[in-house]
Chain A
Amino acid sequence: MANHHENQSMIAPSISLRRRGMDFLVTCAAGGAVVLVLLPLGAVFGYLVYKGVGSINLAFLTETPKPPGETGGGMANAIAGSSLILLLGSLVGVPVGIGAGVYLAEYGRNRLGNLIRFTADVLNGVPSIIVGIVAYGLVVLTQGHFSALAGGVALAIMMIPTITRTTEEMLLLVPNSVREAAYGLGVPRWRTTLSITLRTATSGVITGVMLAFARVAGETAPLLFTAFGNQFWNWKVNQPTAALPLQIFTYAISPYDDWHKQAWAGALILIILIVFSVSAVRFVASRGMLKGAN
């Protein structure tokens, strides 16, 4: 390589210099863009650690909130509540989203498909507070009380369009020749879709699911009048439930200094939980990958 460069510069030194200069500039620009992307993330995380890490202790992770005015206590019930609501949301949202994405990619080249695509895109742009109102109408009013289930349904509605569209796109990236290979072996179409096409696109579909999950994990507005919040432990699906974003919101707007500190700590825990669950899923998924698979 080095030789090649020198030869070139002997023939036309000015071009080589210009090329090298341009190469340097573009590399710097790309590097700068990476820094610009990482900077806000680093800043947010760093500030949360700075403000929140001091208030994280065993009590914070194991106890329920103390009454207003008293110091101490923790957000254990909110951490558990958030996990419960996210689990419920994913149980509803992931299968529906992937199912709709499969339909769109494999069977949806018709008017119904276009309608679903349009609906999903509009749903993606609906403000989250409105999704909360819909879940309120659907679940809270029919049940007669706030519940973790209502929160889960609200989050599921927010997850579905993202998962649907990314699943569709990832399936369309699978070359048609792969489907043909399966048909050629006498594998029926439905089986090809499930065991070949979807399997080939697995890592992309998981990325879509994790994007949707991370996005709704921090949502507060749709939980305000669905999960509602709770000062105590709750493991029941049909009872009002604490959630980290709600707890952070309540504590942040309160007049107490100790609650402010706890809100920072809660925010830090929330981010750590999201990063942890996304990386855990990626790790498990990548263990199933083979050498040289793409």
Chain B
Amino acid sequence: MGVGVKVEKLNAWYGKSQALYDITMQAQANHATALIGPSGCGKSTFVRCLNRMHETVPDARADGKVLVGDLSVYNGTTAVQIRRRIGMVFQKPNPFPTMSIYDNVAAGLKLNGFRDHHRLDEIVERSLKHAALWDEVKDTVRKKSGASLSGGQQQRLCIARALAVEPEVLLMDEPCSALDPISTGKIEELIFQLKEKYTIVIVTHNMQQASRVAEFTGFFLLGRLIEFDKTEKIFTTPSDKRTEDYITGRFG
């Protein structure tokens, strides 16, 4: 089951330049929350703070309060523990190029010491089915490299890989920006099903996509969260002038 994500006064920096200012918001368990905003507004930095990927960039740091369920992300837990509970799908599909499809999905468990091969087979099949990729790859799952798949398949493989470690929250950083409309449609459909088991936070440049998949939407501008509300409200009667300007295409 998914758990909620609660963020209070989150600030983030790259070296001396501040990228996020006092972000406070909540992502409800088993719902999808979309983050929109123009390029460079901090939405990617924000999701990368949630699983502490932000700090893998040299000189980057963040502080504030982030709660994932009852787990405090920046207080007394290691980044590795956090990332096992919060899965992530990146903008560009990034399968491990020398591994088979099977090993790609199993990687998260295997590399963390999981050795039960029988269980592993089950988990790989279940994750690939969950990511709607199983039917397309089931005959070559051990023979073909993850890099030999098409872009859309690779992205679903990356989703399967994230699901295999059974996270509670799934972060998606523009997961469809490198994909064609058909693959995008498949992944949006997938997000709908995944909501039953996971909490989803999705960054997107595509406002239609936000309105299609997410119950809640947040609008970022210049490192600040300008408005956060039900998706319907954001796209029909936003309360902030800047949100309205952005969604009606007056800038961004």
Q: Sort chain A's interface into a size bin.
A: 20 to 34
| A175 CA / B94 CA spacing, docked (Å) | 9
Contact partner, A294, options B56, B58, B111, B147, Cβ 8 Å: B147
Chain A residue at minimal CB-CB distance from B51: A184
User: Is the pair B111, A182 in contact by a Cβ cutoff of 8 Å?
Assistant: yes
B130 interface residue, CB < 8 Å from A? no
Chain B residue at minimal CB-CB distance from A181: B94
Minimal beta-carbon separation of A211 from chain B (angstroms): 21
Binding site for B on A (CB under 8 A): 109, 175, 177-178, 180-188, 191-192, 195-196, 199-200, 202, 289-294
Minimal beta-carbon separation of A292 from chain B (angstroms): 2
User: A191 contacts which chain B residues (CB < 8 A)?
Assistant: 111-112
Mark each residue of chain B from 10 to 40: 1 if its CB lies under 8 Å from any CB of chain A, else 0.
0000000000000000000000000000000
User: Is the pair B83, A184 in contact by a Cβ cutoff of 8 Å?
Assistant: yes
B205 interface residue, CB < 8 Å from A? no
User: Is the pair B98, A289 in contact by a Cβ cutoff of 8 Å?
Assistant: yes
Minimal beta-carbon separation of A173 from chain B (angstroms): 11
B222 interface residue, CB < 8 Å from A? no
Say whether, besides A178-B96, A182-B111, A291 and B53 are in contact (CB < 8 Å): no
User: Is the pair A180, B143 in contact by a Cβ cutoff of 8 Å?
Assistant: no
Contact partner, A184, options B87, B98, B140, Cβ 8 Å: B87
User: Is the pair A186, B98 in contact by a Cβ cutoff of 8 Å?
Assistant: no
Minimal beta-carbon separation of B237 from chain A (angstroms): 37
Contact partner, A200, options B90, B96, B112, B143, Cβ 8 Å: B96
User: Is the pair B98, A292 in contact by a Cβ cutoff of 8 Å?
Assistant: no
User: Is the pair B165, A293 in contact by a Cβ cutoff of 8 Å?
Assistant: no
User: B92 contacts which chain A residues (CB < 8 A)?
Assistant: 177
Say whether, besides A178-B96, A181-B94, A186 and B165 are in contact (CB < 8 Å): yes
| A16 CA / B40 CA spacing, docked (Å) | 46
| A180 CA / B162 CA spacing, docked (Å) | 12
User: Is the pair A185, B161 in contact by a Cβ cutoff of 8 Å?
Assistant: yes
| A192 CA / B110 CA spacing, docked (Å) | 12
Say whether, besides A293-B98, A293-B148, A184 and B90 are in contact (CB < 8 Å): yes
**Residue from the set B85, B107, B111, B148 with the largest chain A CB neighbour count within 10 Å:** B111
Q: A185-B107, A185-B112, A293-B145 are in contact. List 9 more A-B contacts (CB 8 A).
A: A178-B97, A184-B51, A184-B83, A185-B83, A187-B107, A187-B108, A188-B80, A290-B143, A290-B148
User: B81 contacts which chain A residues (CB < 8 A)?
Assistant: 186
User: Is the pair A290, B98 in contact by a Cβ cutoff of 8 Å?
Assistant: yes
Contact partner, B145, options A186, A188, A290, Cβ 8 Å: A290
User: Is the pair B83, A186 in contact by a Cβ cutoff of 8 Å?
Assistant: yes
Chain B residue at minimal CB-CB distance from A177: B94
Minimal beta-carbon separation of A107 from chain B (angstroms): 12
User: Is the pair A202, B98 in contact by a Cβ cutoff of 8 Å?
Assistant: yes
Contact partner, B108, options A186, A199, A200, A293, Cβ 8 Å: A186
Chain B residue at minimal CB-CB distance from A194: B111
Minimal beta-carbon separation of B198 from chain A (angstroms): 15
Say whether, besides A184-B51, A186-B83, A186-B165, A292 and B96 are in contact (CB < 8 Å): no
User: Is the pair B108, A185 in contact by a Cβ cutoff of 8 Å?
Assistant: yes
| A291 CA / B87 CA spacing, docked (Å) | 28
Chain B residue at minimal CB-CB distance from A183: B56
Shortest 4 CB-CB distances between A and B: which pairs? A292-B148, A186-B84, A185-B108, A293-B145
User: A177 contacts which chain B residues (CB < 8 A)?
Assistant: 90, 92, 94
| A200 CA / B148 CA spacing, docked (Å) | 15
| A185 CA / B98 CA spacing, docked (Å) | 17
User: Is the pair A290, B100 in contact by a Cβ cutoff of 8 Å?
Assistant: yes
B126 interface residue, CB < 8 Å from A? no
User: B107 contacts which chain A residues (CB < 8 A)?
Assistant: 182, 185, 187, 196
**Residue from the set B82, B94, B108, B162 with the largest chain A CB neighbour count within 10 Å:** B94
| A191 CA / B90 CA spacing, docked (Å) | 20
Chain B residue at minimal CB-CB distance from A292: B148
Chain A residue at minimal CB-CB distance from B113: A191
Q: Which of B127-179 contact A (CB under 8 A)?
A: 140, 143-145, 147-148, 158, 161-162, 165
User: B140 contacts which chain A residues (CB < 8 A)?
Assistant: 291
- 11 A-B residue pairs with CB within 8 Å: A177-B92, A180-B94, A182-B107, A182-B111, A184-B90, A185-B83, A187-B111, A196-B96, A200-B98, A290-B100, A291-B143
User: B147 contacts which chain A residues (CB < 8 A)?
Assistant: 292-294
Minimal beta-carbon separation of B57 from chain A (angstroms): 10
| A180 CA / B80 CA spacing, docked (Å) | 12
User: A294 contacts which chain B residues (CB < 8 A)?
Assistant: 97, 145, 147
Chain B residue at minimal CB-CB distance from A174: B97
B213 interface residue, CB < 8 Å from A? no
User: A185 contacts which chain B residues (CB < 8 A)?
Assistant: 83-84, 87, 107-108, 111-112, 161-162, 165
User: Is the pair B145, A292 in contact by a Cβ cutoff of 8 Å?
Assistant: yes
User: Is the pair B97, A293 in contact by a Cβ cutoff of 8 Å?
Assistant: yes
